[in-house]
Structure 1
Amino acid sequence: MRILLFCENRYAIDILNPLQEYVTDNNLPHEVMWYIHKPKISTFEYASKVRWTNSIQEAYDFSPEAVFVPGNIVPYYLPGVKIQVFHGYAAEKKDHWIIRRYFDTYFTQGPYFTSHFKALSEEYGDFEVVETGWPKQDWIKRNLHTYDAERQRLLDSTGRKRIILYAPTFSPKLTSLPLEGMKERLGELAERNDALVVMKFHPLTRKEWADEYRAWAESKDNVMFVNQGENITKYQLMSDVLISDTSSTVYEFLLLSRPVITVRTIAKDIYWENTATPDGLEEAYRRAMNDPEAIARRQWIVDNYDPYLDGHVCERMLNAAADYIRRHGVPNKRRLNLWRKYTSVKTFGFVKKK
């Protein structure tokens, strides 16, 4: 099977790399090519190890049979079964449920998502839904304790007992970054609970906000600012508690069965602790750490959002892709309206067809 791993945004690389690793580690006879969208991704850390291109023409000439996409859009003119694998678990964001007609099949993370997308599949009638789990969870399972030593070095060097990760979203309408008192309450929470606050911001965070928090961190001995280009999953695995707002990292952290606190989240169904203002962080922290009901709510997320923490997600995905091709053949085109075609071409350009 010729597989194209399609990356429009930087975060897609970490989501799709477990598929590459599974193929490589098991010596599978698949051909794998990466498409790296140069306007949004300046560097590709696996460039010397894998076959890749930032030319959409080369991606087309590769003639993929399966295209894995953790994003909302993929060029309609690429051949192959186009597979939506999602860029996270943020179900409260409206665009998570929009059907844009680019995809032949959706590989869902767990029962909650499967039920919703199967209903949409019946409504639209032109895509399938397969519950596989999320590929990044395979990487997490393999690396669950990879950073234990680095975590301990951080704690020893700062004299702290635990790590609180602050990972807000970048969206100006949703982020907690500009809220009055946010920095001060974070610092107080760290001091009262003998913790180190590690701040990891999204690469698209406004520069002025990132610069403000970076300067603040440099003045504190219990706050650390992490380069925005680093992999957040590493710091999730190193941390004891997450503070965020409306971000898919909330669900990724909950799937580790660890406490989460949000500030002014827009989520309708909240399975963690939420506070309307930074002033409520201390009380929310206490509940998240000690309340049995809070622990039970976190378990509901594991059971319904993504129970596939067995390390076999990539295997299921590749088998499901092969099964789709076996039943339907390799699709050559999708039924799209002119607007979707225009959006696709505007984003990725034209190709010369064979």
Structure 2
Amino acid sequence: MRTILFCQNNYAFGILEPIKQVLTQKGYDYIWFITDKIKKDFPYTSDNYTLKISDLKAFNSDAIFVPGNEVPHYLRGLKVQIFHGLAGEKKGHFRIRHYFDLYLTQGPYFTNRFNELKEEHKNFDVIETGWPKLDIYGKDKSKYDKEKIKLLKESNAKKIVLYAPTFSPKLTSAPFLIEPLKEVLKNPDYLVLVKFHPLMDKGWVENYKAFASTNKRIIVAEEKNIIKFLLMADVLVSDTSSVIYEFLLLDKPVITFKNISEKIYWNDVDDYAKLNTLIEHNLYEDSFANQRQTIYNDFHPYNDGKSALRMVETVQNYIEINGVPKRRKISFLRRMKINSIFGKA
């Protein structure tokens, strides 16, 4: 099976890497597609990769794995949506853009919604597999324990607080938490790691870096894959970000500000000034622990570390039964959008 790993943003690397490992183990040919804006962040330069759509045409793929919203309709291959997050409440998560033949969903919450949309549109299929980015939870959850111990020792702290806000201007808490974090850091027990979304406003990134330059117990992380920091952190602070669900699946407490979810299974508040008290309460009382099981059951009930394997084998079986579609039939406006992003067929 010849496969394209299709990346438009650097967060796609951590989602597709487990699939790449499965493809390698099975001896399947694959090629990465990356855009110029993320070339400098691409970590797999020894692999077959390209920045050219013409190379993808020549590759003549059987399947294209896409953790994003668009893929050229004119490329050969089963176009597979594997998603870039777990935040179903965000605008656009359940929008059908008609670029994909197959949706591989993370858990029942997503599967049920997409099956409803399948009945409406009748031009794609839905299969639940779990999400490959979280395979490490089932395989090597303690991978970064030594690094965590080292960080805490260097800062003479006891707990890691991870702050990971969304980038959306309407939803982000970044403009409001610098002063509350200063209060948090008056407690020597806390080390704060800040992990920004790649699309976060550069001005706010620089503001937090300037803040971090004045205190050794706050670090603005530069690494692209947030999984490392989720595994190391003891508590997460955020707003309306899909990373919340990734952290809850580790059975650890979450604090958010002004989250827009319809159902909230963690500590959400409006008052940024309460951050210090909220961290203390959630670390040592954790009164939302029982509610986290709902997230596990509905969003991602897989802890075997085999979601990437399920995805690859599901796609292989689907192609064996249905064949490889050569082109995706989409509207004129959709074709124009794809042409404007990736060029004409």
TM-score (norm 1): 0.93
Residue deviations 1:247-272 (CA, integer Å, cap 9, x gap): 11111111111111111222221111
In the other structure, the counterpart of 2:20 is 20
Does residue 121 (structure 1) correspond to residue 121 (structure 2)? The answer is no
Deviation at 1:339, TM superposition (A): 0.9
Q: Is the 8 A contact 1:273 1:287 kept in 2?
A: no
Tell me the secondary structure at the aligned position of residue 163 of structure 1. Answer: strand
Does residue 242 (structure 1) correspond to residue 236 (structure 2)? The answer is yes
Does residue 186 (structure 1) correspond to residue 181 (structure 2)? The answer is yes
Q: 2:333 aligns with which of 309, 330, 339?
A: 339
Deviation at 1:277, TM superposition (A): 2.2
Q: Is the 8 A contact 2:11 2:198 kept in 1?
A: no
Counterpart AA for 1:260: V
Q: Is the 8 A contact 1:8 1:41 kept in 2?
A: no
Counterpart AA for 2:93: H
Does residue 294 (structure 1) correspond to residue 288 (structure 2)? The answer is yes
Does residue 31 (structure 1) correspond to residue 29 (structure 2)? The answer is yes
In the other structure, the counterpart of 1:233 is 227
Unmatched tracts of structure 2, length 5 or more: none
Q: Is the 8 A contact 2:11 2:224 kept in 1?
A: no
Deviation at 1:171, TM superposition (A): 1.3
In the other structure, the counterpart of 1:195 is 190
Deviation at 1:137, TM superposition (A): 1.3
Tell me the secondary structure at the aligned position of residue 174 of structure 2. Answer: coil
How many percent identity over aligned positions?
A: 43
Q: Is the 8 A contact 1:133 1:313 kept in 2?
A: yes
Tell me the secondary structure at the aligned position of residue 78 of structure 1. Answer: coil
Residue deviations 1:214-237 (CA, integer Å, cap 9, x gap): 11111123212222x432111111
Q: CA RMSD in A?
A: 1.6
- CA distance in 2 between counterparts of 1:199 and 1:43 reads 19
- CA distance in 1 between counterparts of 2:277 and 2:188 reads 12
- CA distance in 2 between counterparts of 1:45 and 1:307 reads 29
Unmatched tracts of structure 1, length 5 or more: none
In the other structure, the counterpart of 1:92 is 89
Matches within 5 A, 1:1-354: 1-24=1-24, 26=25, 28-48=26-46, 50-179=47-176, 182-192=177-187, 194-227=189-222, 229-291=223-285, 293-351=287-345
Counterpart AA for 1:45: P
Q: Is the 8 A contact 1:287 1:294 kept in 2?
A: no
Deviation at 1:350, TM superposition (A): 2.3
Counterpart AA for 1:263: F
Deviation at 1:283, TM superposition (A): 4.0
- CA distance in 1 between counterparts of 2:282 and 2:294 reads 15
Tell me the secondary structure at the aligned position of residue 203 of structure 2. Answer: helix
Q: Is the 8 A contact 2:253 2:286 kept in 1?
A: no
- CA distance in 2 between counterparts of 1:347 and 1:94 reads 21
Residue deviations 1:102-160 (CA, integer Å, cap 9, x gap): 00010000011111111111111111100000011123433321211111011111111
Q: Is the 8 A contact 1:272 1:288 kept in 2?
A: no
Residue deviations 1:43-77 (CA, integer Å, cap 9, x gap): 421011x1111111101111111110000110000
- CA distance in 2 between counterparts of 1:83 and 1:114 reads 14
Q: Is the 8 A contact 1:275 1:281 kept in 2?
A: no
TM-score (norm 2): 0.96
- CA distance in 1 between counterparts of 2:83 and 2:98 reads 15
